Amino acid sequence: MDLKLTGRVAFISGAGRGIGYAEAQALGAEGVRVAVNDIDACAAKDAVARLQAEGVDALAVPGDASQEADVQAAVARALAHFGQLDILVNNAGVGVKPAYSVEDMPADAWDMMVSTHMRSTFLCSRAVLPAMRAGGYGRIINTSSMNYTGGGRPGVAHYAAAKAGIAGFTRTLAKEAGPHGITANAIAPGYVETDLIAGFTDDMRERLRRQNPLARMCRPDEVAALVAFLASEQAAFINGALVCMDGGRRDFYWGE
């Protein structure tokens, strides 16, 4: 399928590694020019070098996606370089280490999680909307989680709340931006094989695989393929959706 994305420009937060990098690869393979944002400037530059080696027109725009000034500077640099912005993938985030019950959770742990996931989604979306509106085309793809769609699990109230907030934000944004030719959708992956689960024990990994109907975890390239489709013209009538990508699993438990 030709996704008709050649010449489009994407801004991807948290694209220095993992899912974000896979998303940059997938979009780049479709002819999209990519602005790689990451809080780690070295990771962003390394990602760009690898993308360019694959023939992708990429630019490093490092910065903290949860900080307003950083977002404004990164978006401005991308616009100055590429002249347009058509696709935003809000991917920036952190894993849950350590987990806290609600009773034991420090307020700063809550604030950090909500800021990294939900505030960054708001800031990046707000920053790119004028350019998308001017171009008459926009695709905003936000990252929710099975931690929300599955009803949450003990110890991750801050993460589940942030991911639920992203889903609600996406629904409202879809209604506000739709009349301008801009769609907003969210994806809700299950466990994905990235560095964020590097600390899981072999036993934890085996239980997660056993509990999934497909008997495995998701791959970053599979998430990236979904994002590329949602960014395309073929997905023009998909707006305000929350697309689950969890292999059919909708619950959370660590037991048998």
Q: Which amino acids are annotated catalytic?
A: 159
Query: Would you call 113 helix, strand, or coil by DSSP?
Result: helix
Q: Taking every pair of C-alpha atoms in the chain, what is the biggest distance, in angstroms?
A: 53
- Tell me how many degrees the CA angle 205-211-215 measures, rounded to the nearest 5: 75
- DSSP collapsed to 3 states, 174-201: HHHHHHHCEEEEEEEECCECCHHHCCCC
d(CA 191, CA 208): 8
220 cis-preceded (ω within 30 degrees of 0): no
Q: Contact 111/64 with Cβ under 8 angstroms? A: no
- Tell me how many degrees the CA angle 140-136-130 measures, rounded to the nearest 5: 65
